[in-house]
Amino acid sequence: AAGAAGSISITAGAAGKVVDVVAAPGAAVKKGDPVVVLEIMKMETPVVAPQDGTVASVEVAKGETVESGAVLATMNA
């Protein structure tokens, strides 16, 4: 994981596999922008920014399996 953790956690809604990390630490994102893409039950599901801000850290890598509720990334408003 790169960078210091931000105040806003972006978490997995369900267990799955990370198929893509879209936003890198330092990237400015708008509410609804995809940050990480998970494969959940064979469907690619983007995990989006809950609000406008800057990605502070990415806590997962492509190919990693995550549990429901796992922190995928953090951001600051």
Q: Kindly give, in sequence order, each residue whose CB lies less than 8 Å from that of residue 43, ignoring residues fewer than 6 positions away.
A: none
Q: Mean per-residue pLDDT for 32-42?
A: 97
Question: Is residue 1 a part of any domain in this protein?
Answer: no
Question: Is residue 2 a part of any domain in this protein?
Answer: no
- What rounded mean pLDDT belongs to the chain? 94
Answer yes or no: is pLDDT of 54 > 60: yes
Q: Mean per-residue pLDDT for 10-15?
A: 96
pLDDT at 1: 44
d(C-alpha 33, C-alpha 50), whole Å? 8
- Residue-range definition of the domain harbouring residue 65: 8-76
How sure is the predictor about 5, in pLDDT bands with cuts at 50, 70 and 90?
A: confident
d(C-alpha 14, C-alpha 64), whole Å? 14
Contact 36, 58 (CB under 8 A): yes
Domain tally, the chain: 1
Question: Is residue 60 a part of any domain in this protein?
Answer: yes
Question: Is residue 15 a part of any domain in this protein?
Answer: yes
